[in-house]
Amino acid sequence: MENKKTRLVARRSRKEGGKSAGSGSRTGPLLILASGSPRRRTLLQEHGYQFEVVVPAGVEEIAPEHLSPGETVLANARAKACAVARGRPGAMVLGVDTEVFFEGRVLGKPADLPAAFEMLRRLNGHTHEVYSGVWIAGQGRERGFVEITRVHFHRRTEAELRRYLARIGPLDKAGAYAAQEDRGEMIARVEGSYSNVIGLPMERLAEELRVES
């Protein structure tokens, strides 16, 4: 298993991308979030960052069996960041991938409600890990890191699980649950960054962006 905070540094980046909008305030190079996730956008806004949102085109997330969870999320984050960065000289592009890891398997986003129920049933009453890979590309540099948070779930009845799924809308959420909308229904406690469970480890990101600025 990877160390809790893993950093990879690469030599160069090239830049590409489209354009959208964000809000907040931050000095330094333009920050671009290479993700359409409303949860990541909200986290950046709440922490006062000024940024644009650009959804990378033609990038498919991978989860090959020969890669560890940390390697998987970092590879996906790098692909997203670099796809946008090639067309945006001077910007700092942020690519992110977050996955749930349980019993030796990566649990991505459920394909449908039955798959969501099965994911949540498996996690019910157990402890799992949330991995986020974050890649920052721009201004001729690339760097990345992995953040890991352990999440402990309450044990709930099947009826409670179904009501929870009906409330949160799980199909766009890794592991079929929503940390930002949980209200204590599933999550008993976390070890590590709670924002990482939502989809973006803000504490570590702030450290890395200070290095880049």
Q: Is 97 a catalytic residue?
A: yes
pLDDT (tens digit, 9 = 90+) per residue, 89-144? Answer: 889 999 999 999 999 899 989 999 999 999 999 999 999 999 999 999 998 899 99
What is the extent of the structural domain holding 13? 5-212
φ, ψ dihedrals at 54, nearest 5°: -130, 115
Residue reference for tokens 């402890």: 127
CATH of the domain at 41: 3.90.950.10
CA 199 – CA 179 distance, rounded (Å): 9
Q: For residue 70, give the H/E element and its range.
A: helix 69-85
Beta strands 187-191 and 141-153, pairing class? antiparallel
Mean of pLDDT values over 36-40: 95
Given a contact cutoff of 8 angstroms between Cβ atoms, the answer to whether 133 and 97 are in contact is: yes
Least confident of 3-7, 115-119, 142-146, 167-171: 3-7
Number of structural domains in the chain: 1
Least Cα distance to 191 among 130, 117, 145 occurs for 130
Task: Measure CA 20 to chain center.
Answer: 19
What is the DSSP secondary-structure string of 105-152? EEE---SSHHHHHHHHHHHTTSEEEEEEEEEEEETTEEEEEEEEEEEE
Q: How far apart are CA 175 and CA 177, in angstroms?
A: 6
Q: Does position 20 have pLDDT exceeding 50, yes or no?
A: no
Average pLDDT, the chain: 88
Percent of the chain with pLDDT over 70: 86
Exactly one of 97, 112, 172, 182 is catalytic; name it: 97
Mutual angle of helices 113-123 and 158-168, in 10-degree steps: 130
pLDDT on residue 27? 59
Paired with 190 in beta bridges are 151
> DSSP string spanning 16-58?
--------S---SSPEEE----HHHHHHHHHTT--EEE-PPTT
The per-residue pLDDT for 211 is 81
pTM of the model: 0.85
pLDDT value at position 213? 64
Q: Which two tokens stand for residue 20?
A: 């959208």
Closest alpha carbon to 20 in 56, 53, 62:
53
> How far is the C-alpha of 188 from the C-alpha of 20, rounded, in Å?
36
